[in-house]
Chain A
Amino acid sequence: MDIPYTTKPRPDTGLYNAKVGIWLFLASEVMLFGGLFSAYIYLRVGAPVDTWPHGWLNVTLGTINTVILALSAITTLLAWAALKMNQFPRYKIFGALTIVLAVAFLSIKAYEYNDKFTHYQVRLNDGRVADGHLIENKKDADHIVLHGHYVAKAAELLDGHSKNAHAHEELTIARADIQGMKFYGPALNNFLAIYYSITILHALHIIGGIIVIGYLWGPGSKMWFTDPERFTNRVEVSGLFWHFVDLVWIFVFPVLYLT
């Protein structure tokens, strides 16, 4: 006996099993990211005065990534539509484009993370803070070299839009003058902590999407020749997941980059 409605829709619900399953899964995903965005709102509204930064993320790169994901949504849709029109080679092209776009998104994201991981706030013994990218940090040297600028106190760094935020000069700082230094990681403040939490989780979803779409594009596409309808359904389901991942980014971008 076989499980019914794996491919054909059930007449009274109008859906095949996997489609019900993916929508339920996406509902739970909404609650997952809903929880994270609620946490973001809660933390931001409740943040002590002068602790919440603005303009710390690269809007240009964020915009490019938004466009990339929007394009990938289109290619996903066209890939599925190609199968519906019985044009397998066309599906292969658009499927490949989707994966390329997804990898491009991740590469830009990796560049952004790397930029933050090499960016340091160095507290000096005289109370000032040096802020910038670490260029030289040899263990045996008695100094470090930073590409950035000095501020009187860390709170001045909160406004990423300010003029001197992008002042770059080479600063050589003696180790003896350093009280402590922290890179722009989750431990620096809660904006970065929630930024990393949401975007890493989102990136994991992108990776999951690449694996699924990649499998269907590569070894899984053999099913097209034995069971085209079921294969088309699989592509549709993976596309629904992909659209959801795109949608999450549509919230991530304004909430984290533009405010």
Chain B
Amino acid sequence: MQAATHAESHSGAHDAHHHEPGFLRNYVFSIDHKIIGLQYALTALCFLLFGFTLMGMMRWQIAHPGQSVPLVGPFLESLFGDVATKGVVSPNLYNMFGAMHGTIMVFLAIVPLLTGAFGNYLVPIQVGACDMAFPRLNMLSYQFYLFGGIIMFASFFIPGGAAQSGWTSYPPLSLIVPTDGQTYWLLGMVFLITSSLLGSANIITTIVQLRAPGMTWMRLPFFTWAQFVAAFLLLLAFPPLEAAGVLQLMDKVMGSSLFLPTGLAVGGKIADVAGGGSPILWQHLFWFLAHPEVYVLILPAMGIVAEVIANNTRKPLWGYKSLVYASLALGFISFIVWAHHMYLTGMGTTIAAFFQTTTMMISIPSVIILTCLLISLWGGSIRFNTPMLFSLAFLPMFGIGGLTGLPLGFSASDLHLHDTYYVIGHFHYVVAPGTIFGIFAGIYYWYPKVTGRFMSEFWGKVHFWGSLIFMNVVFMPMFAQGLSGMLRRMSDGGINYSLAQAGVEGGLGSSIMELNRVILWGAIGLGLSQIPFIINLFYSIKHGVKIPNDNPWDATTLEWQTETPPYVYNFRREPVVHRGPYEYSVPGHAKDFTPQTEPESTPAKH
């Protein structure tokens, strides 16, 4: 690179030149963005599996309340003691599992996979940089993330167990539960938020500063754009939750009552607190993060899907600029929709009207993105490989998730649907067959770049079809349950409100209750469908089909124009970019793809 910076640099990356780094430096305290990306990926995939396991036990308890969990029941009892007597998931344990399932899936699995793993590994290569802008800060982000995860995980094993107040941690409940789980949750969150802030500042700086010569803004792959917007959302939306976390820690540890109202009664007695606080303040600060967070969950997944679709339709993305501007609009508007999670707080019609309007507005850029991706398929000669199948399934699945969100955005219909299984169905369609399918697509697509081998196509397709079918078996019935009024977070699966109970009128019918068992079998099937993926992921490292060359998918973006796996500083020579990211099937060219590094002056024929 520049001679001047070469002579002056004292960065860690530079040290690696002079002496052979040891195992610790290479794999544990690495400052190479690719290794850190893989660290994120493995840790987050473990948390993904763990969060899924928690959900499996909850679904058993919902379908068969009060019965011992098969296989793991005795293990649960020996691990948790009296909250799992005879292997039954007690209401307290159910609440812990519920709170931690949400927390783990959102903050420890999906976001770290999207921004930590994919963002870290791919963004520097896609912009043509040798590393992130701040490699050591990058290492620190991962360590904060890991530490926060360990605190969260450890909280299961402290006396009283983990947090029990949902991933939203609404006070007063979160503050009056007498155990220490909530304190651990808050401390864990402070570390996770700090990790996110450092990571997102790093990604933005990398994209702004380290783009290779010729890599103009409108030549960035859409994936990088999506990461850019998501990083801004994390950077600006997370701090208010950090503030809220600090305030809730004050309440929990120092005995203040920032979130506790005057006259709060606990167990029939007035609580001994100063009062005057507001539980709704927490909701505002929480959702100010948690709604932009939804777009952090979805935008990078859309980015992955866009890359895979362009590559496997062998034609340019339709409406690249619309995609870019739509994601920017999405980013801005996502900051002014948060209170649509709070219609039930009695905010009044004027405020509700504002948030309904902005909520309807934000559906426009979302629909633009989805439409662009859909139209991109038109006229393409589609290659139906595993990453493409996951990407294609992403479109309708995310569509269902998005469209079912509209009734929740209107206060009139939301009052009926609030806190029911309808909400669970809605956001799981966005995140599970939406985002997680995007993640699977990304793993199958970039795996050859990381390892030099393909994952098995056959087992990939088994994984895909199993996941697609069972995802729908799990989440589709939830809409019916929610519309019938089944509330979320009930450890008995609603049996006390069912018509089976004497004296209950207008309760949940037997067909609605029966769906609990359907969902349980769906969840079991979904779990079994992941086995081929897990085996495939590890087996293919050594035994997968070797890739024929460094660009096995015939792709155009920069990560495919370097060796496999990429050289420690990504490119032997600094790449120079000559064209946009999706020049597929350009008329007059010999190949059906033109890499971004290919100079304009090169003759069309080789």
Interface residues, chain A, CB within 8 Å of chain B? 1-8, 10, 13, 15-18, 20-21, 24-25, 27-29, 31-36, 38-39, 42-43, 46-48, 51, 185-190, 192-194, 196-197, 201, 223, 226-227, 229-230
Interface membership of B600, Cβ < 8 A: no
B274 touches A188 (CB 8 A): yes
- The docked-state distance in angstroms from the alpha carbon of A31 to that of B232 is 12
Interface membership of B322, Cβ < 8 A: no
Known: A24-B205, A190-B257. A43 touches B1 (CB 8 A): no
Contacts of A190 in B (CB 8 A): 256-258, 274, 276-277
A2 touches B9 (CB 8 A): yes
- The docked-state distance in angstroms from the alpha carbon of A28 to that of B205 is 14
Contacts of A192 in B (CB 8 A): 256
Contacts of B277 in A (CB 8 A): 43, 190
B254 touches A187 (CB 8 A): yes
Interface membership of B510, Cβ < 8 A: no
Interface membership of B2, Cβ < 8 A: yes
A24 touches B201 (CB 8 A): yes
Interface membership of B72, Cβ < 8 A: no
Which of chain B's residues has its CB closest to A44's CB?
B276
Known: A24-B201, A43-B281. 10 other contacts (CB 8 A): A2-B130, A3-B13, A3-B210, A7-B4, A8-B2, A21-B133, A31-B236, A36-B246, A51-B276, A230-B8
- The docked-state distance in angstroms from the alpha carbon of A197 to that of B258 is 10
User: Which residues 118-159 in B have Cβ within 8 Å of A in the complex?
Assistant: 129-131, 133-135, 137
Interface membership of B477, Cβ < 8 A: no
User: Which residues 245-264 in B have Cβ within 8 Å of A in the complex?
Assistant: 246-247, 250-251, 254-258, 262
Which of chain B's residues has its CB closest to A226's CB?
B10
Contacts of A32 in B (CB 8 A): 239-240, 242-243
A39 touches B281 (CB 8 A): yes
- The docked-state distance in angstroms from the alpha carbon of A190 to that of B254 is 12
- The docked-state distance in angstroms from the alpha carbon of A189 to that of B284 is 21
Q: In whole Å, how far is A34's beta carbon from the nearest beta carbon of chain B?
A: 7
A28 touches B239 (CB 8 A): yes
B276 touches A39 (CB 8 A): no
Interface membership of B530, Cβ < 8 A: no
Which of chain A's residues has its CB closest to B204's CB?
A24
Interface membership of B14, Cβ < 8 A: yes
A196 touches B250 (CB 8 A): yes
Which of chain A's residues has its CB closest to B282's CB?
A39
- The docked-state distance in angstroms from the alpha carbon of A36 to that of B14 is 41
- The docked-state distance in angstroms from the alpha carbon of A13 to that of B4 is 18
Contacts of B135 in A (CB 8 A): 3
- The docked-state distance in angstroms from the alpha carbon of A25 to that of B288 is 19
Q: Point out the residue from B14, B240, B251 that lies within 8 Å of A2, measured CB to CB.
A: B14
| Cross-chain pairs A/B with CB under 8 angstroms, 17 sampled | A1-B570, A2-B6, A3-B11, A3-B133, A4-B209, A5-B209, A6-B11, A20-B133, A20-B209, A28-B236, A32-B242, A36-B247, A38-B240, A39-B285, A187-B274, A188-B274, A223-B10
A13 touches B209 (CB 8 A): yes
Contacts of A3 in B (CB 8 A): 5, 9, 11, 13, 129-131, 133, 135, 210
- The docked-state distance in angstroms from the alpha carbon of A21 to that of B336 is 26
Which of chain B's residues has its CB closest to A182's CB?
B274
B205 touches A20 (CB 8 A): yes
B255 touches A27 (CB 8 A): no
Size class of B's contact patch?
A: 35 or more
Known: A29-B239, A39-B281. A186 touches B255 (CB 8 A): yes
Contacts of A4 in B (CB 8 A): 1-2, 5, 209-210
Interface membership of B35, Cβ < 8 A: no
User: Which residues 202-242 in B have Cβ within 8 Å of A in the complex?
Assistant: 202, 204-205, 208-210, 235-242
User: Which residues 140-199 in B have Cβ within 8 Å of A in the complex?
Assistant: 197
B1 touches A189 (CB 8 A): no
Q: In whole Å, how far is B215's beta carbon from the nearest beta carbon of chain A?
A: 11
Q: Point out the residue from A5, A6, A185 that lies within 8 Å of B254, measured CB to CB.
A: A185
Q: In whole Å, how far is A11's beta carbon from the nearest beta carbon of chain B?
A: 11
Q: In whole Å, how far is A194's beta carbon from the nearest beta carbon of chain B?
A: 7
Q: Point out the residue from B2, B129, B134, B254 that lies within 8 Å of A186, measured CB to CB.
A: B254
Contacts of B1 in A (CB 8 A): 1-2, 4
Interface membership of B569, Cβ < 8 A: yes
Query: Looking at B202, B243, B285, which has the most chain A CB atoms within 10 Å of its CB?
Result: B243
- The docked-state distance in angstroms from the alpha carbon of A38 to that of B288 is 12
A194 touches B258 (CB 8 A): yes
Interface membership of B297, Cβ < 8 A: no
Which of chain A's residues has its CB closest to B124's CB?
A3
Q: Point out the residue from A1, A31, A193, A194 that lies within 8 Å of B240, measured CB to CB.
A: A31
Interface membership of B278, Cβ < 8 A: yes
Contacts of B9 in A (CB 8 A): 2-3, 6-7
Q: Give 6 nearest A-B pairs by CB, closest first.
A: A35-B240, A35-B243, A193-B256, A32-B239, A1-B569, A31-B239
Q: In whole Å, how far is A125's beta carbon from the nearest beta carbon of chain B?
A: 17
A35 touches B204 (CB 8 A): no
Known: A7-B8, A20-B204. A28 touches B235 (CB 8 A): yes
Query: Looking at B241, B250, B276, which has the most chain A CB atoms within 10 Å of its CB?
Result: B276
Q: Point out the residue from A7, A15, A21 that lies within 8 Å of B134, measured CB to CB.
A: A21
Contacts of B197 in A (CB 8 A): 25, 28
Contacts of B574 in A (CB 8 A): 1
Contacts of A201 in B (CB 8 A): 246
- The docked-state distance in angstroms from the alpha carbon of A25 to that of B1 is 27
- The docked-state distance in angstroms from the alpha carbon of A43 to that of B284 is 12
B243 touches A39 (CB 8 A): yes
Interface membership of B244, Cβ < 8 A: yes
Contacts of B238 in A (CB 8 A): 28, 31
Query: Looking at A8, A33, A36, which has the most chain B CB atoms within 10 Å of its CB?
Result: A36
Mask of B265-283 contacts with A, CB within 8 angstroms, 1/0: 0000000011111100100
Which of chain A's residues has its CB closest to B2's CB?
A4
A187 touches B201 (CB 8 A): no
Q: In whole Å, how far is B59's beta carbon from the nearest beta carbon of chain A?
A: 36
- The docked-state distance in angstroms from the alpha carbon of A51 to that of B285 is 23
Q: In whole Å, how far is A229's beta carbon from the nearest beta carbon of chain B?
A: 7
Q: In whole Å, how far is B171's beta carbon from the nearest beta carbon of chain A?
A: 13
A34 touches B250 (CB 8 A): no
A47 touches B276 (CB 8 A): yes
Q: Point out the residue from B5, B247, B281, B285 that lies within 8 Å of A5, measured CB to CB.
A: B5
Q: In whole Å, how far is A191's beta carbon from the nearest beta carbon of chain B?
A: 9
- The docked-state distance in angstroms from the alpha carbon of A33 to that of B242 is 10
Contacts of B244 in A (CB 8 A): 35, 39
Query: Looking at A1, A15, A38, A223, which has the most chain B CB atoms within 10 Å of its CB?
Result: A1
